[in-house]
Structure 1
């Protein structure tokens, strides 16, 4: 059995190298593993977001929308009238019933940026329960901080 060993004799050609150097590939894979291990917990924790600022344009309206506002204390106002939490479902149901079928009113929800997210979601839940599903969250036009 003969082996093909590179030798100085011949026409100056080298035999092709058939070995693959896996060391650089292992180094790259270890670096990627470390990057994913560091960033994976950050993805589940979330990023703090300042929601009230946006660069969205204004919506076109055919009819006057219902404005619901929530101040920093959590008090709820429909247009300019303050409504208690217990009277809110009744008032929203009357707004939904007063509109013609197929002509669902647009609701604009304004909430203070320092207000608890749970309070805003309770009001949105009451809007959904009353059948008022065309809800727009009002923000300040500009660039986020």
Structure 2
């Protein structure tokens, strides 16, 4: 037989979780987020230095790849389709392994387009690439 004790429900230990400290911590985190959010949207304006450099020397094995503002590609002034760039450069590199590609890109082109060109040039087997900038000031 089971004996019953005279224990009331109020004598049982409380099995509840006290969430007050949890709420306090969450409110502090929300306040920190609200204070930090405006600081994360501020940007810094950085003026990059201008480079004073000599003009690159003319080479017999240099090829210039240009990307204009409209996305048109040229190799040494001749228009070329984007899908023909890599095979054309591969043929040029096969003729002369010292081939250097001078890459010119319009300032309005996104970095992704320029990075894509660099990848195609690398896949074509060109080891030396020079990025031509517009802010080259000749030294006296």
Instruction: Tell me the residue number matched to 1:104.
Output: 98
Maintained 8 Å contact 1:68/1:78: yes
Instruction: Tell me the residue number matched to 1:115.
Output: 109
Q: Distance in 2 between matches of 1:119 and 1:57?
A: 27
Equivalent position SS for 2:115: helix
In structure 2, stretches of 5+ residues that fail to align are: 1-35
Structure 2 length-normalised TM: 0.58
Instruction: Tell me the residue number matched to 2:30.
Output: none
In structure 1, stretches of 5+ residues that fail to align are: 1-36
Moved over 3 A (4+): 45-51
Matches within 5 A, 1:47-62: 54-62=51-59
Instruction: Tell me the residue number matched to 1:78.
Output: 75
| Distance verdict in 2 for CA 1:48–1:132, change over 3 Å | farther
Instruction: Tell me the residue number matched to 2:133.
Output: 139
Equivalent position SS for 1:137: strand
Q: Distance in 2 between matches of 1:49 and 1:71?
A: 24
Question: Number of matched residues?
Answer: 98
Maintained 8 Å contact 1:69/1:76: yes
Structure 1 length-normalised TM: 0.57
